[in-house]
Amino acid sequence: MREHRRSIKPGDQISLKLRLNKGTPPAEVAVATVCWTNYPFHGLAFSALSQSSLRQLAEYMHVSDIEKE
């Protein structure tokens, strides 16, 4: 059986789960709009996510910034 990938295009709206850290539940993004694509990378604008997911993302980005220093 051949696997088919759905083409993601700018303007599409998707939902996704982000596994940021082992041992913690994924951050869920209910609605994200695709801004640009350069397969396999995609630029997304998050439109709808919970406060807990927003907090997880903020904590992850802060920790990632500290690790780069």
Give 19-48 pLDDT, tens digit per residue: 988 888 899 999 999 999 998 899 999 998
**Residue 16 corresponds to which amino acid?**
L
Start-to-end C-alpha separation, the chain: 47
Q: How many CA atoms lie within 13 A of 42 on its CB side?
A: 17
58 pLDDT above the threshold of 80:
yes
Distances 54 to 7, 47, 50 between C-alpha atoms, Å: 27, 11, 6
d(CA 45, CA 8) in angstroms, rounded, equals 14
pTM of the predicted structure, to 2 decimals: 0.71
2 pLDDT above the threshold of 90:
no
- pLDDT score recorded for residue 24: 85
- pLDDT score recorded for residue 65: 55
